[in-house]
Structures are given as C-alpha cells and as structure tokens.
Amino acid sequence: MSRDHDAMGRSLVAVTGLGVVTSLGRGVADNWAALTAGRSGIHAITRFPTEGLRTRIAGTVDFIAADPMVAPMLSERFAEAAADEAVAQAGISGDFPGALFMAVPPVEIEWPQRQALAEAAAPNGDVTYADLLRAAGSRRFDDWHDLFIFGTVADRIADRFGTKGSPISLSTACSSGATAIQLGVEAIRRGEVEAALCIGTDGSVNPESLIRFSLLSALSTQNDPPEAASKPFAKNRDGFVMGEGAAALVLESVASARARGARILGYVLGCGEKGDGFHRTRSSPDGAPIIAAIRAAIDDAGLHPDQIDTVNAHGTGTPENDKMEAMGCLAVLGERMRSVPISSNKSMIGHTLTAAGAVEAAFSLLTIAHGRVPPTLNYAVPDPAIPLDVVTAARDVPVRTVLSNSFGFGGQNTCLIFGAEPVR
C-alpha cells in the first residue's frame, strides 16, 4: 500500500498550517500559552451598552479593527488574520493551490442598519414596506448588498488568498467549523483538490444575539466575575458564554505536502456526522445521533475506541449539552472513558459558535504537538451524573490521537479525529 494512502485507499490528509484568533490573543503562540496557563478571555462587554441585558459578558476580540456592530465585517477580519497565519506557516506563497471551505454565521441585517433603513424610509414614522424597498434601493445603501449577503465573506477571502474554484460557504450551527474541515478532507480524499483552506469564523457578539440566546435560556447569567461564568461539566453550570474569533487550517494530501517539503503538523484521520432534527436546541434524549457521530469518526479513522487518547469536548456549559456529550462518549468509549482526559476550552474563550469546530481543531493539533491537555476552568463542583476525567490543570501526557466533538443546535453533530501519525 502506498505510504500516501490510508487502509481504504484514500489520500491521507495532512495539516501543514494553523492560524487562530480568539479573545486570548492573535496567533497560535499567544493562544496556546494563555490556554495552557488557564487564563480566561471572557470579560465584561464594552463595545455596546449592556444595561437591561441578563448576560453582560462575552469572549469578544477587541484588538482587531472593524465595526463591532457589523458581524460580517468582524467575521471577515478574524478569518483574514487566521488564514494569513495558517498560509504563512504552510509556506505557501502566491495563490493558494486549492479550494476554500468556510464556515460563516448566518447573515441578516442587524439592528443599527435596520434602524438607519427605517429612518431613511420614513423620517416621520409610519414606515411601509414600499418605503423600505425604496430606501434599500437608494445609493446610500448600495454597500449593504455585499455586506449582508451570505457568502460574501468567503468571496472576499477567496480573492484575498487566490483559492481555486468557487468558495464554499456553509453554516451548520455550532458544528460549522468542523464541517468546513470535513468538506476539505473529503475533497482531498476524492482527488478533487490537493489542498484545502478550511476556516471557521464568527463575530456575532451583539445585543440582538445576546437577547436571542437569552430567550432560549442558553446563556450563563453569572456575570460577576466574568471569568467564572463558563463551567463545562460542573454541577452548577447554567449556560454558555458567547465568544468570537476564527481558526484556519491548511489541509493537503500527504503526497502534495511531501512533494514540496512542507512540515506536517498532524493528520485529520477521521470525520463523522449525524443529524437528528429532534428539536431546535435540545439533543435527542437517547443520544443516538451524538453516539453515531462519534462512532462514525472513529470508524472513518480506522481506529478502535480504545485508541483515543483524549477528548476535546464540545463542552458548552449548558445543562443539556454536557449531559448528552458525556452520555455519548461513555456509550462509545465504554468504562475506559472515565479515565480518558477530557477538556473544554470554552471555559476560557467562550463558545465561538460558527468558528468553534475550527478553533478546537487547531487546539487539538496543538495538544498532540505539545503532549499537553489544556485545562477546563471553573470545575469546582463536579457533577456526579457526569463521571468523566475533566482536566482542571494543564496535564502533560502522551497524546497520539484526539477526538474533537462539535454538536450544534438543531441536531447538527460533527466529530473529527486528529492524529500524530497516519493510520494505514
């Protein structure tokens, strides 16, 4: 069998570049240092007034210039910064020699723009639909056509990096970043491309998003101190904390990476997904879709559950998600799961939503590279119903494989397996 193919005859997929932006900092080095030190990036929101809001904290990225009230603009800036780092690390100059797969938030006109449109349509009130159409067609709002159309962010990133073919924009809720990686892996395995730039990005921390998630009872309301709010797997968890940022991975066929002498950072060994559609926020009570996604990823990697060294948890800190994730991991890995290190970086950066699967993929690869599992903050009150080995201080252990879970609202579940070496 060729050294460039797995046991199923598919092209092995290597990772040759990583880029990360979160509230912990810009770049892989700063993020990894903060993450393993257990430093939180969650803080009080300062970019807009929070009086009257139940949740007033988030893991916002405040050091990259963009209009903080326009999510597509923030998402583009974060993606560009992460991709710049990943492509540079991969040693690629000029146009990117492959396709772009990009996870981006659902796009709609936000409240400041809606207000401006309404005021332009009827300054004295009594706005009609005809007034809105007329105002939207005026020269003043021409730029909105590009800014608030789904896919525009990917178009701009594709132009910036010279990727091949039509850029793919996708949104599968909180599993979106992992889905982008899965699509890149599948394209390389099918032989359609030799390389893929896979990005997850999200800049959605704004009043409207906070209100919407609050109405779903999904957000933590423990605002003080902010860094103690996100409590994955703890008994006193009360919801997730919003975060934002981006991560980019350069994927290549092993043959391509070797041919150009690229440094291989790790491998994407397996991908598994399963949707259930049980409820708009809740998981199926029997855990079947989560179990199926985990099993599919392990099977796709050609591994046995006993070969998983650590789990990078979805770990949102909501009562529902953490319970169902624990159930799924225990069902697949069995009693051994009680001693497999598991950690959730959302305790430090918050839930980066569309970007989460990609950010956590980068952290999974760094875990392998450094042999160090990052901690989960705020695990002071263990939940006896979740009998897992939750890592509370950075732990140095040999790591050859990582299971990284991403479970999205609406039952969109995607799991990835990363490895230090290929499985043949």
Q: Which residues are catalytic?
A: 174, 314, 351
CB 150 within 8 A of CB 107: yes
Count, residues in the chain: 424
**Chain centroid offset of residue 270 CA:** 17
Residues 247, 5, 190, 160: is their CA dihedral positive or negative?
A: positive
Closest residue by Cα to residue 180 from 243, 248, 91: 248
Three-state DSSP at 373 gives strand
Residue type, 193: V
Distances from the Cα of 2 to the Cα of 6, 9, 255, 268, 417, angstroms: 8, 8, 10, 18, 21
Q: Cα–Cα distance between 206 and 87 in angstroms, integer? A: 30
Distances from the Cα of 35 to the Cα of 55, 156, 297, 374, angstroms: 24, 30, 26, 6
Q: Cα–Cα distance between 395 and 379 in angstroms, integer? A: 15
**Burial call 351-367: b when 16+ CB within 10 Å, e when fewer:** bbbbbbbbbbbbbbbbb
Q: Cα–Cα distance between 65 and 36 in angstroms, integer? A: 27
